[in-house]
Amino acid sequence: MRILGIETSCDETGVALYDTERGLLADALYSQVAMHADFGGVVPELASRDHTRKLLPLIQQVLDDAGLGRGDLDGIAYTAGPGLVGALMVGASTAHGLALALGIPVLGVHHMEGHLLAPMLEDEAPAFPFVALLVSGGHTQLVEVRGLGEYRLLGESVDDAAGEAFDKAAKMLGLPYPGGPQVAKLAEAGDPARFRFPRPMTDRPGLDFSFSGLKTHTLTSVNALRDAGELDDRGRADIARAFEEAVVDTLVIKCRRALDQTGLKRLVVAGGVSANRRLRERLAIEVGKRRARTYYPRGRFCTDNGAMIAYVGAQRLLAGERDGTAMRAVPRWPLADLTPPTITA
């Protein structure tokens, strides 16, 4: 089956073509980061309009890159949620309209299931079962994965996601949006011994996360340096380093606990924050101590992309799952609601 994947959940328009026998044939991504940077975050209405402008040209680009036409498609998968409802509707309506015109099946898939299974696109893909850390601007979750649709939530953030905390810390430090890569870059010049920020919820059992207190601590530290006249380049770098170390330590501690609790030896790390260099270094050490292995998607598939949607859609469409006649756009959709593929229409 050749499946076209469409991703429009937030501020990136992603399209990809996945063949269940040959693998990924082509993919393309357009990022709206530059447009939203002037506002310090995503503006939903602007995001929806830009998806409308970019989606059809990207679909044609991917087909051209693969040397195929629309008549060569066997199915279409699109992100049905979670995400910004207007942005989701652009992808859903395009997918349903194109599928209806071509007479092929269409299926809305879960955005986070896409991230969860993105490492399956790699040559050395993880085997089931494994523990997954989903860590992005909107989600921080630990999930036990037994198979496609067989997910058990182990822990999640009770407030801010890790990526959201990075963005807010960046704003406090006067850094541009998106904040995660900016904070990480500034932290490289920071002194790790000057400040020690709290590691939230690591002093008690459990696998849940909380980053709102760390955000408050960061703001307090920034204000203290400003009042003392020490919020210079060095001071900002030292705070960035302390903040990054606190987030990374927290994520690593919880991953270690999850592996110990489940007894599993494979850890998948996906989502935008999975690209953080310091996080990867620390996980390599801690996971290695347990004779376990960590799997990541390739760099361009850490953030939102069409390839992960095409892959998940292909697996579920291959199993006979289909949308009905109504398109789906689900802004809030818990990952725990997913089940193994079922024939729906």
268 is in an annotated binding site: no
255 is written with which tokens? 């991953």
Indicate the SS3 state at residue 345. Answer: coil
Q: Which of 277, 270, 273 is nearest to 298 (CA)?
A: 270
Determine whether the annotation assigns residue 135 to a binding site.
yes
217 is in an annotated binding site: no
Contact by Cβ (8 Å): 92, 77: no
Residue 173 marked ligand-binding: no
Q: Is 212 annotated as a binding residue?
A: no
81 annotated ligand binder: no
How far the first Cα of the chain sits from its last, in Å, is 18
Q: Which residue shows structure tokens 């987030």?
A: 247
Going along 20-122, which residue ranges are E strands? 23-31, 75-81, 106-110
**Is 110 marked as a binding-site residue?**
no
Answer yes or no: is 304 a known binding residue. Answer: yes
Known binder of ligand: residue 167? yes
Among residues 302, 336, 9, the alpha carbon closest in space to that of 142 is found at 336
Is residue 210 within 8 Å of 224, Cβ to Cβ? Answer: no
Q: Which 3 state secondary structure label does DSSP give 220?
A: helix
71 is in an annotated binding site: no
Q: Is 276 annotated as a binding residue?
A: yes
Binding residues: 111, 115, 134-138, 167, 180, 276, 304
Binding residues for Fe cation: 111, 115, 304
Binding residues for substrate: 134-138, 167, 180, 276
